[in-house]
């Protein structure tokens, strides 16, 4: 595997929402590659998808199909990744996997390029399986990691407002169709989700642990954040909710720092963080929204303010605090495109880090 020439690239799961977004991003970034092959289930084989003005034929994903590529971007689900990922690696392919299949595997780096790029060094120059973190984890840590690096992080409390795009193209279609039905006075009939998603919200559709009360999405945010940050003692708790939004996840975040910082200092750190844009106009009441984040690469951060309920030296709870007065507690609201930075873009950035010839 040579990293000096543009790689032979493959997208596994090309007909899905994330796979198509990968193609869009490759076009937008004008990524260099020797070839691009598209793979999906046998029922999609023979169909075509447009790429750079030309139709590209979708191939059937079968054992051995990936032998002649250098890097494969997987977005076809955990079972496919577990089945064909190790085979591809053994054939000399670098696999960048968007599923949950390898996120807990210590042999497979779990990477957010802006947060823990050094973790890629262990696999640089050789075939490997690299895991893309959960979309909610990526969006959260884009904002939290720079603050943790600057001031330390004692605790984080997160509430998510997750778009249906996280459940794939069929879930997005279901929201559109249910919205039409409800507006026409008919009943919304769920099939992808257990609950109607149009004009509704509900606890994240992942399984709930009867012992802890946490669902899988909430547990992922904790375990993956600990692994990415290299902090097994990280105190983080999440409540994850599906909302009737097509794409882009939002999160309300409350943190307690290890070392006191002023609001001004917090803003300066976030303003300098790669992949983060501050959108915080109090006068115009203009802050991050899923619509503003959709189609963009950066995670938007706003509603940045001290948490007046947390103890502060010389102040009672609820009293105002000046922007230059240090405190430990802060609140913010963030939004990021789940299909882009939360999935497709993150995987492509990993590939670009390994194959500098792509840029």
Residues acting as catalytic residues? 135, 249
> CA-to-CA distance for 171 and 191, rounded, in angstroms?
9
Nearest to 251 by CA among 92, 178, 142: 142
What does DSSP say about strands 276-278 and 153-162: parallel, antiparallel, or unpaired?
A: unpaired
3-state secondary structure of 125: coil
Q: What is the DSSP string of 318-340?
A: T----TTS-EEEEEEEEEE-TTI
Structure tokens at 102: 């390898």
Q: Are 99 and 216 in contact (CB under 8 A)?
A: no
Residue 88 CB contacts under 8 Å (≥ 6 apart), including other chains: 66, 67, 72, 95
Other Cβ atoms closer than 10 A to 154: 15
CA distances 78 to 96, 199, 259, Å, are 12, 30, 40
Q: Is 175 exposed, middle or buried (0-12, 13-18, 19+ CB in 10 A)?
A: buried
Question: What distance, in Å, lies between the first and last C-alpha atoms of the chain?
Answer: 17
Q: Are 249 and 136 in contact (CB under 8 A)?
A: yes
Q: Kindly state the helix (H) or strand (E) to which residue 240 belongs, with its residue range.
A: strand 236-242
242: β partners: 162, 202
CA distances 28 to 5, 22, 32, 145, 229, Å, are 20, 10, 11, 27, 30
Given phi > 0 = left and psi -120 to 50 = alpha, else beta, which region is 152? left
């Amino acid at each position: 595997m040579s990293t000096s020439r543009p790689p032979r690239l493959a997208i596994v799961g090309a007909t899905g929402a994330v796979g198509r977004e990968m193609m869009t991003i490759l076009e937008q970034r004008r990524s260099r590659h020797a070839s691009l092959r598209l793979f999906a289930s046998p029922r999609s084989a023979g169909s075509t998808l447009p790429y750079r003005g030309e139709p590209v034929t979708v191939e059937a994903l079968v054992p051995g199909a990936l032998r002649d590529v250098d890097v494969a971007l997987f977005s076809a689900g955990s079972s496919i990744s577990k089945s064909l990922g190790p085979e591809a690696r053994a054939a000399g392919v670098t696999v960048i996997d968007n599923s949950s299949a390898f996120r807990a595997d210590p042999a497979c780096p779990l990477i957010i390029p802006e947060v823990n790029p050094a973790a890629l060094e262990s696999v640089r120059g050789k075939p490997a399986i690299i895991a893309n973190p959960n979309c909610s984890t990526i969006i959260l840590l884009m904002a939290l990691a720079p603050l943790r690096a600057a001031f330390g992080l004692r605790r984080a409390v997160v509430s998510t407002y997750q778009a249906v795009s996280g459940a794939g193209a069929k879930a997005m279609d279901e929201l559109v169709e249910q919205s039409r039905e409800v507006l026409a006075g008919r009943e919304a009939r769920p099939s992808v989700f257990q609950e109607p998603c149009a004009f509704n919200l509900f606890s994240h559709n992942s399984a709930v642990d009867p012992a802890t009360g946490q669902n899988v999405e909430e547990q992922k945010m904790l375990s993956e954040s600990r692994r990415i940050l290299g902090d097994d003692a990280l105190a983080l708790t999440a409540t994850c909710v599906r909302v009737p939004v097509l794409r882009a996840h939002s999160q309300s975040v409350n943190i307690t720092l290890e070392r006191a910082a002023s609001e001004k200092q917090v803003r300066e750190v976030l303003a300098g963080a790669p992949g983060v844009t501050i959108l915080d106009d109090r006068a115009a009441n203009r802050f991050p929204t899923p619509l503003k984040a959709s189609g963009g690469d950066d995670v938007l951060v706003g509603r940045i303010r001290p948490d007046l309920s947390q103890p502060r030296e010389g102040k009672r709870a609820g009293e105002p605090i000046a922007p230059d007065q240090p405190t430990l507690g802060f609140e913010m609201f963030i939004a990021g495109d789940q299909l882009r930075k939360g999935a497709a873009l993150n995987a492509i950035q990993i590939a670009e880090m390994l194959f500098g010839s792509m840029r």
